[in-house]
Amino acid sequence: MSVAMSTIAAIRTPVRVNATCRARVNIARVRPAISKASVFGTTRALLSAQRPALHPRATSLEVKAESLIEAPGATYTKFVAAGTAKGKADVVTILVKGIVAGIQIGFGIFLATFVGGHCFEIAKLNPGMAKIITGAFGLPFGLLMVVLSGSDLFTGNTAVVTAALHEKKVTPMELVKSWSVSYLGNFIGSVAMAYAVFYAGCYSGPLMSPVGLTVAKTSLTFTQAFIRGILCNYLVCTAIWQATAANDLAGKMVGIWFPIAAFIALGLEHSVANMWALPMGMLLGAPVTWAQIWTANLIPVTLGNIVGGAVFIGTMYSFFYGSFGKKAVE
């Protein structure tokens, strides 16, 4: 009984009367009294017994967000890294990779001429659609093989190794080595691919599109071939840039497909693709010689490809995101 009376006295609420005779309850003193004790003893132990303990659940799940495409600055860093690796590679490695790239581009232009080049009825009714078909099927597939395999394509090296040169990652002699050896390897692989297709007998009867293509390409003036080479390699190196930016296979395919399909449909000139197409046409009976192939097409187109890749992609992008045109910080 004494315990109960003492508890009631402890929890008695003090009342303060103000000037207007209104009672004000001091809540601040009521709550601690109730929470500390009751007629049945301490309440904290009872409440803690009724309430189950909560423990945070440990988990090993980690979510890592990764963008499907790099920002331009990060893409340039990867671009330079690729050019550095190509410039530092030894001659044998560059030559073998160049041969492989020539074969891969040969497969691409082979498919393009075999499918799009033989859409005779479509070409009569809708020449533009025939050009789109030629561009869509073939060479994008060839460049995708080059990018995914890491082989050495001369036209792409004009951009990536130039960017590495501007960032002082390679020397001028390493740039010359990369360009010249990859060009030789591309030529060997492309011509070997042309002879393989010829002896396989894939072209016969009316399916002889490389013949007309060879005649048309060797009929260009030097200036026409040179400018078409510039425009072509601008698109080719843009495709390589976009494939470098993409972090997944689908992104690389899309990045390559549009520029490459565009340059084929527009009738522009790619030196490595022509290394397959022109010998192929000559083997099938086109009235041209090796001298004409070089002087009327490959030499001016190659020079144009160098300008398009080295100046308008490698150098321009170094100016945007790299060191070219910027004073060294002391």
pLDDT of residue 204: 82
**Do residues 217 and 297 lie in contact, with contact meaning Cβ atoms separated by under 8 Å?**
yes
pLDDT of 188-233, one tens digit each? 999 999 999 999 999 987 778 899 999 999 999 999 999 999 999 9
SS3 38: strand
CATH placement of domain 72-321: 1.20.1080.10
pLDDT of residue 65: 56
Residues contacting 115, CB < 8 A, separation 6+: 133, 134, 137, 138
pTM of the model: 0.79
69 bridge partner residues: 246
Cα 139–Cα 292–Cα 221 angle in degrees, nearest 5:
75
Cα(249)–Cα(255) distance, integer angstroms? 10
Q: Which is nearest to 135 in space by CA: 225, 260, 269, 301?
A: 260
pLDDT of 135-178, one tens digit each? 888 899 999 999 999 999 999 999 999 999 999 999 999 999 99
